[in-house]
Amino acid sequence: MLRNSLTLLLALTLPLARTAAQPHAPIVPTNDEIRSILADRIDTKRQAVGIVVGVIDSGGSRIVSYGSLDRNDPRPVTGDTVFEVGSITKLFTALLLTDMGQRGEVALTDPVAKYLPRGVQVPERAGRSITLEDLATHTSGLPRSPTNLAPKDPANPFADYSAQRLYDFLSSYQLTRDIGSEWEYSNLGSGLLGLALTLRAHDDYGDLVETRIARPLDMHSTRVALDHEEKARLAIGHNSRLAPVPNWDFQALAGAAALHSTASDLLKFLAAALGYTKSPLAPALSAMLTVRRPTTEPGLENALGWQVSRPDALQIVWKDGQTLGYCSFVGFNPLARIGVVVLSNTATARGVNDIGMHVLVSKSRLFMLPHTVPARQIE
């Protein structure tokens, strides 16, 4: 999803370079204004079944929601509704990396091969090894997806992609460019990073996120595998035709997109990132922004997990995600200390980035959407 997302995001934010020559106090939309946007998106444009927006600033946090869990289930979506969050998972993988770095368990410059089983041949080039930092910043030289991804069920593409298949891919793949020389968004790279960290910690990805991140931040509904109560709060995913679609499952590439979460939980994540709540993860959260790599998109950098846009005097830190039936956006303005979460139970070509950016930057335009937009297939 990311390349399309970047193009759309830059279309929204680049006009700010002509209008925001000096930093200014942002104007955050009111609850009624946000609700009006959501009603138009759902009732008029038919671009979603349910959307939840969470906002946090110096005045506290608030939730605005509109729509339902499913077209056939009138229960309203709320701040506690569970969604697949797709590539928002990559933020948690990057935070695991920086936290383990703070603990002395790994180093950003460690070769990923150091943490994989003996016999796994990780591709190298020009005497350079792929590092954990390369994976977290999408500069490893690995492709977007492994070439041996051949799912039995195309609607659940990662369910049967095992660690052994990943190792087989790595051992046979030849890099086409120097490591660190070019940015290319890679679900494969993020999944490999997550796997390496779990092997180092002697734990699986879901448990590692729960013990290292979710519990310390009091995020009770952020996990890979849902229990019975959480499944009852799960919004049904839909494609762009508003038809229900299946959920995704993961094995080796869980670190790329396996997590579920809620708007309430992700606001807690942002509260810690913005310094509104004290957390033992504060140093690791700050460290996520200390590394910056240029991307192929003007005005955009890749930090550890986060994307960083710089429209003139502004700095917007963000990440989006998409699965077969869900769209998500998390972002914040570190100077103004404003954050936003947007979760939708419908996957469309436009996603929900424009809503998130409009909350963060009032001059950012909302998309003029048609009534029907083709769905994207990945993340």
Amino acid letter, residue 3: R
Q: Which pLDDT score is estimated for 363? A: 67
Distance CA 264, CA 343 (A): 11
Above 50 in pLDDT, residue 25? Answer: yes
The predicted-structure confidence for 213-242, as pLDDT tens digits, reads as follows 999 999 999 999 999 999 999 999 999 999
Classify 240 as helix, strand or coil.
coil
Domains and CATH numbers, the chain: 2-360 (3.40.710.10)
Q: What is the 3-state secondary structure (H, E, C) of 306-352?
A: CEEECCCCCCEEEEEEECCCCEEEEEEECCCCEEEEEEECECCCCCC
Q: Which pLDDT score is estimated for 8? A: 52
Mean pLDDT for the chain overall: 91
The predicted-structure confidence for 290-320, as pLDDT tens digits, reads as follows 999 999 998 899 999 999 998 667 899 999 9
The predicted-structure confidence for 26-76, as pLDDT tens digits, reads as follows 789 999 999 999 999 999 999 999 999 999 999 999 999 999 999 999 999
Distance CA 102, CA 17 (A): 36
Averaged pLDDT for residues 163-177? 97
Neighbours of 155 (CB within 10 A): 13
Q: Which pLDDT score is estimated for 313? A: 74
